[in-house]
Amino acid sequence: QKEVEQDPGPLSVPEGAIVSLNCTYSNSAFQYFMWYRQYSRKGPELLMYTYSSGNKEDGRFTAQVDKSSKYISLFIRDSQPSDSATYLCALNTGGFKTIFGAGTRLFVKA
Amino acid sequence: DTAVSQTPKYLVTQMGNDKSIKCEQNLGHDTMYWYKQDSKKFLKIMFSYNNKELIINETVPNRFSPKSPDKAHLNLHINSLELGDSAVYFCASSQVLGYTGELFFGEGSRLTVL
């Protein structure tokens, strides 16, 4: 079993839709949960960061962590064509090693 | 002013050759990394250095040799290149003090082995 599972998509939605992206993981020692966004031919950049369980909101983006189910989600409200990118979940136990999911490719159609 | 910069951005080379990728960060971070991203976008850690000391060495063939001359620089040398080495190699850095898990990535070096 992989440490982190993420559906690679692609996911195609119309502009204005609510997008739900998620990952499951197997290691209960993960404490730091992150979402990175990667545009084509660019490096990943941190989008959202959550420590332990709970929700975090930043503008149109909401990150949720459910440690009991080992499930993390990213919601994008009022999606825009500029949100078209690959979204990678990333997890860390508190050390130097961050494990990434496979990334979900998102296309938002105008 | 680019925070994490890698050179070159593109490399095309023949099997069996040796190549190097250089990385520099101007963020004052203590830790630097090499990640490999394959054609399916799967991003996998290869190496990590903290203050010039190797702290993570994943199961990477010993044809790959990282070197950190100082904490702002991390280079990757690859010997005897193979077709399977074709990928995008990303350098990243992070601040250890007040660790948040945030990695700052360069734009990647796209290696194609023919």
Digit-coded pLDDT (tens) for A10-21? 999 999 999 999
Say which residues have a Cβ less than 8 Å from residue A36's Cβ, sequence separation at least 6.
A44, A45, A46, A47, A87, A88, A89, A90, A100, B103
Residue A43 — φ and ψ, nearest 5°?
Answer: -80, 155
To 5 degrees, how large is the angle CA A49–CA A4–CA B27? 40
Residue B1: the pLDDT is: 67
| A-chain residues near B108 (CB < 8 A) | 41-43
Cβ contact (<8 Å) for A8 and B107? no
d(CA B72, CA B26): 7
| B-chain residues near A92 (CB < 8 A) | 101
Buried b (16+ CB within 10 A) or exposed e, B72-109: bbbbbebeebeeebbbbbbbbbbeeeeeebbbbbbbbb
Tokens 């250089």 — which residue? B22
Report the residue of chain B nearest A41, measured CA to CA: B107
pLDDT for residue A90 is more than 60: yes
In degrees to the nearest 10, what's the CA dihedral of A91, A93, A98, A103?
A: -10
Instruction: Say which of B42, B56, B90 has its CB closest to residue A97.
Output: B56
Say if B66 is an interface residue toward chain A (CB within 8 Å): no
Buried b (16+ CB within 10 A) or exposed e, A56-92: eeeeebbbbbeeeebebbbbbeebeeebbbbbbbbbb
pLDDT for residue B100 is more than 80: no
pLDDT for residue B60 is more than 90: no
Instruction: Say which of A38, A44, A92 has its CB closest to residue B101.
Output: A92
Residue B34: the pLDDT is: 96
Residue A51: the pLDDT is: 85
Q: How far is A98 from chain B (nearest CA, A)?
A: 7
Residue A100 β-bridge partners: A90
Instruction: Say which of A43, A102, A103 has its CB closest to residue B90.
Output: A43
Which amino acid is located at B9 in the chain? K
What proportion of chain B, given as a percentage, has pLDDT over 70?
Answer: 94
Give CA separation, A103 vs A9, A18, A24, B21, in Å. 8, 18, 12, 25
| A97: confidence class by pLDDT, cuts 50, 70, 90 | confident
Residue B99: the pLDDT is: 60
Q: Check residues A51 and A61 and name the one with the higher pLDDT.
A: A61
